[in-house]
């Protein structure tokens, strides 16, 4: 059976950003604990996995296979540039109705954000002043580490997971000289290299240094650099990221396999979104959108690969070497958190005859993201107790642009159903069962 350490004691969940996603996540967990809501969309709470084969086959929920933290043992904390507590944030974000927030008002009001480690240049559209005064990036790390230590002490928690659910930062290209080794990263932090060291890197460094798994829920360049992999190995901590896979990309990673499995051709895939929450506001800035665009574009290219099937996918842009793939996000305040995604897919079939597919997904961004937050937190905590550290590839299922070792030309798995097999196999292994499904 499983050798994983039991989930004894309390689990601290420290979230960077107390906006729509986080306040919805926290409210949902607190309401579920009271029996007033159901955590729909959460794999850890609902999904069942087959373990064993033949006459030994049975279908079990995750917590029947591995020791997951109980929802009653979660203690929430946060950092944010705005001082509003979790209750005020949940009301202001207008994702949930008041009647679904008020029963846990007292608990939410106690979740008051700590001052954020913030650099206005990385998110120019945010104007909050609940911000730390830092003399350097290294000082930023030290202050965050102290926050984590104080949170553990004041709340009597045994373990902490840090989750980034804040805005998308401007695009930071990977620079081998700064991001290639841990020593170089630390030197750049001490030299206050603001150009190459994003605030999110300081959060990740602080979390890992304090023995907390770190999850990157935005497309930021943060833990997907060799220096952070080195730190995760050194501290024996799990890391996961990047960018929660909630709406359009979830559809893409699930629908593209239909085209590929059926051996249909693709001429082009055009995706556009409208949303009006704080995420949309930040992404209205071109430098921030670039970070998101890279993440959203990467999904399709590893599922429908021109080199593997040139007749089917070698059409479109790049001098006819690939289908045309375009992604757009438009800030549109009237929609608030109710995101809408349109996909126009130009496919072709027998003898090259063209066809089209249109997908219109009217989704709620935070309603889809909240269960992902819960699953990523519980599974990262599980991985840490299991002694799994570094990149957690089995969590790719939840992420738009899964982390991978690009220095060794590793191609990430973006195919939703292959990702699901990776997830199931990891749970089986941690539960002491054989990994018995292939992903090829």
**Mean pLDDT along residues 339-348:** 94
278 — pLDDT class (breaks 50, 70, 90): confident
Asked if the model's pLDDT at residue 290 lies above 90, the reply is: no
What class has domain 248-362?
Answer: alpha beta
Strand order in the sheet with 214-216: 114-115, 74-80, 11-16, 159-164, 214-216, 238-241, 390-391
- Angle between the 226-235 and 199-209 helix axes, to the nearest 10 degrees? 20
Q: Per-residue confidence at 440, pLDDT binned at 50, 70, 90?
A: confident
Q: For the chain, give the mean pLDDT.
A: 93
Inter-residue contact 24 to 277 (CB < 8 Å):
no
Residue 284: the pLDDT is 72
Task: Band the pLDDT of 362: cuts 50, 70, 90.
Answer: very high
Q: What is the mean pLDDT of residues 22-37?
A: 98
Q: Residue 318 pLDDT more than 70? A: no
Reported confidence tier of residue 150, pLDDT bands at 50, 70, 90: very high
- State the pLDDT confidence band at 239, using cuts at 50, 70 and 90: very high
Mean pLDDT confidence for 133-148: 98
pLDDT at 69 over 60: yes
Return the pLDDT at 280: 72
Q: What token pair was written down for 286?
A: 């071109």
pLDDT on residue 296: 61
> Does residue 194 have a pLDDT over 80?
yes
Q: From CA 189, how far away is CA 141, in angstroms rounded? A: 9
Predicted confidence at residue 434, as pLDDT, reads: 95
Q: Give the pair of three-digit tokens for residue 402.
A: 């899964």
Residue 30: predicted pLDDT: 98
Q: How confident is the model at residue 295 (pLDDT cuts 50, 70, 90)?
A: low
CA gap 249, 297 in Å, rounded: 9
Please say whether the beta carbons of 231 and 256 come within 8 A: no
Structure-token pair, residue 49? 């996995």
> Per-residue pLDDT averaged across 267-281, rounded?
85
For domain 11-244+366-430, the question of CATH label 3.40.50.720 is answered with yes
Mean pLDDT confidence for 243-270: 93
Domain ranges of the chain: 11-244+366-430, 248-362
User: Taking the C-alpha atoms of 26, 27, 32 and 36 in order, what is their torsion angle to the nearest 10 degrees?
Assistant: 170
Q: Residue 317 — pLDDT band, cuts 50, 70, 90?
A: low
pLDDT confidence of 299, banded at 50, 70, 90?
confident
What is the mean predicted confidence (pLDDT) over 377-393?
A: 97
**Cis peptide preceding 242, ω within 30 of 0:** yes
In Å, what is the CA distance from 368 to each residue of 21, 78, 291, 324, 410?
Answer: 9, 20, 21, 28, 29
pLDDT at 269: 94
* CA dist., res. 251 & res. 344, Å (int): 12
pLDDT value for 248:
86
**What is the pLDDT, as a whole number, of residue 341?**
92
**pLDDT given at position 312:** 94
- Which of 173-182, 321-330, 337-346 shows the lowest per-residue confidence on average (mean pLDDT)? 321-330
CB 376 within 8 A of CB 245: no
- Per-residue confidence (pLDDT) for residue 316, from 0 to 100: 56
What's the rounded mean pLDDT across residues 222-237? 97
Residue 67 has pLDDT above 80, yes or no: yes
For the chain, give the percent of residues with pLDDT over 70.
96
Burial grade of 353 (CB within 10 A; 0-12, 13-18, 19 or more): exposed
Do 348 and 267 meet the contact criterion of CB atoms below 8 Å apart? yes
């Amino acid at each position: 059976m499983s050798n994983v350490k039991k989930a004894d004691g309390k689990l601290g969940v420290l979230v960077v950003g107390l906006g729509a996603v986080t306040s919805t996540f926290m409210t949902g967990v607190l309401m579920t604990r009271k029996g007033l809501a159901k955590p729909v969309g959460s794999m850890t709470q609902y999904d069942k996995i087959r373990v064993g084969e033949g006459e030994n086959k049975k279908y079990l929920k995750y917590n029947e296979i591995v020791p997951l933290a109980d929802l009653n043992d979660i203690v929430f904390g946060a950092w944010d540039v705005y001082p509003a507590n979790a209750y005020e944030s949940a009301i202001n974000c207008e994702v949930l109705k008041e009647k679904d927030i008020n029963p846990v008002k007292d608990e939410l009001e106690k979740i008051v954000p700590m001052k954020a480690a913030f650099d206005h240049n990385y998110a120019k559209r945010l104007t909050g002043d609940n911000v730390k005064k830092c003399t350097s990036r290294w000082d930023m790390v030290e202050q965050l580490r102290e926050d984590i230590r104080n949170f553990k002490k004041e709340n009597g928690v045994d373990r902490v997971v840090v989750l980034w659910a804040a805005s998308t930062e401007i695009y930071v290209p990977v620079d081998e000289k700064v991001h290639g080794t841990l020593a170089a990263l630390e030197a750049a932090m001490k030299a206050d290299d603001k150009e190459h060291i994003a605030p999110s890197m300081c959060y990740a460094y602080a979390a890992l240094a304090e023995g907390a798994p770190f999850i990157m829920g935005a497309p930021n360049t943060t833990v997907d650099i060799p220096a952070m992999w080195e730190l995760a190995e050194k501290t024996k901590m799990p890391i996961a990221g990047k960018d929660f896979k909630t709406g359009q990309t979830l559809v893409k990673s699930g629908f593209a396999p239909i085209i590929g499995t059926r051996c249909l051709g693709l001429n082009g895939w055009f995706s556009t979104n409208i949303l009006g929450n704080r995420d949309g506001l930040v992404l209205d800035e071109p430098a921030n959108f670039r970070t998101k665009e890279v993440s959203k574009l990467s999904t399709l290219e590893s599922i429908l690969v021109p080199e593997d099937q040139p007749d089917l996918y070698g059409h479109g842009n790049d001098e006819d070497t690939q289908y045309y793939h375009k992604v757009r996000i438009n800030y549109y305040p009237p929609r608030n958190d109710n995101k809408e995604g349109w996909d126009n897919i130009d496919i072709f079939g027998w003898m090259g005859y063209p066809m089209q597919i249109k997908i219109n997904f009217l989704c709620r961004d935070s309603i889809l993201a909240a269960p992902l937050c819960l699953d990523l937190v519980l599974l990262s905590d599980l991985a840490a107790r299991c002694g799994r550290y570094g990149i957690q590839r089995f969590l790719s299922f939840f992420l738009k642009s899964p982390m991978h070792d690009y220095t060794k030309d590793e191609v990430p798995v973006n195919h939703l159903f292959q990702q699901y097999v990776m997830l199931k196999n990891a749970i089986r292994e941690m539960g002491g069962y054989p990994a018995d499904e292939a992903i090829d």
